[in-house]
């Protein structure tokens, strides 16, 4: 007995199982009885956006993430493709359910998976002043590390196994505490 393929049509975007994603793969439906494609189902459940609305946002960004990488909508898992477009949103203060759109959430745009993860990581740091944090992070990255570390190391010169104090610890030089984090700020 041969399997009969049913052509499914999404009630939100009108795409069918015969249509292709921009990745070249067929539009995905979760099961043969599904009335909406996976992109619309996920988008509506998580961000209150169906595929056509997501495509409009992406079109307004010229199909690019803000980092300059071209991105596309598709119905696979975002983490499996570096070109996957991901809806970026900021959870409202009272909203703890990160998998569902709720009143108070703010839609920021469409990002590549890498940028979305980076922003999510920064959001989870509970940074008080994002600009100050990013400035300090940029200073850190752009520091002349070769000179900096050589200067620190040359301040303490020990001969092997003789002059090293028993309590010697290798670590960072503590600088003035940053005021950009919630933790420890008074």
Within this chain, do residues 110 and 23 fall inside the same structural domain, yes or no?
yes
Within this chain, do residues 73 and 139 fall inside the same structural domain, yes or no?
no
3-state class (DSSP) for residue 22:
coil
Within this chain, do residues 17 and 97 fall inside the same structural domain, yes or no?
yes
Distance, in Å, from the CA atom of 121 to the CA atom of 77, rounded to the nearest integer, reads: 19
Residue 28 falls within a domain, yes or no? yes
Residue 185 falls within a domain, yes or no? no
Within this chain, do residues 8 and 48 fall inside the same structural domain, yes or no?
yes
CB 59 within 8 A of CB 48: no
Q: Answer whether residue 145 shows pLDDT above 60.
A: yes
Within this chain, do residues 119 and 144 fall inside the same structural domain, yes or no?
no
* pLDDT at residue 60 in the model: 93
Residue 164 falls within a domain, yes or no? no
Within this chain, do residues 7 and 79 fall inside the same structural domain, yes or no?
yes
Question: What domain range includes position 119?
Answer: 1-126
User: Where is average pLDDT lowest: 22-26, 38-42, 124-128?
Assistant: 22-26
Within this chain, do residues 111 and 26 fall inside the same structural domain, yes or no?
yes
* pLDDT at residue 175 in the model: 43
DSSP for 151-167, written as a single string:
HHHHHS---TTTS--TT
Calculate mean pLDDT across residues 88-92.
76
The total domain count for the chain is 2
């Amino acid at each position: 007995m041969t399997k009969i393929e049913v052509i499914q049509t999404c009630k939100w975007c009108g795409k069918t199982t015969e249509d292709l994603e921009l990745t070249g793969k067929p539009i995905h439906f979760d099961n043969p009885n599904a009335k909406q494609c996976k992109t619309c189902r996920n988008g509506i459940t998580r961000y209150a956006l169906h595929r056509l609305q997501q495509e409009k946002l992406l079109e307004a960004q010229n199909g690019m993430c803000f980092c300059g990488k071209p991105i596309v909508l598709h119905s696979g898992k975002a983490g499996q493709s570096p070109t996957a477009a991901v809806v970026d949103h900021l959870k409202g203060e009272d909203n703890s359910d990160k998998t569902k759109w709720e009143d108070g959430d703010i839609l920021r745009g469409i990002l590549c998976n890498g940028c979305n993860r980076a922003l999510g990581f920064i959001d989870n740091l509970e940074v008080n002043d994002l600009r100050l944090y990013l400035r300090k992070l940029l200073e850190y990255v752009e520091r002349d590390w070769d000179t900096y570390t050589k200067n620190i190391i040359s301040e303490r010169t020990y001969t092997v196994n003789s002059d090293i104090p028993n309590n010697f610890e290798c670590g960072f030089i503590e600088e003035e505490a940053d005021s950009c984090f919630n933790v420890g700020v008074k």
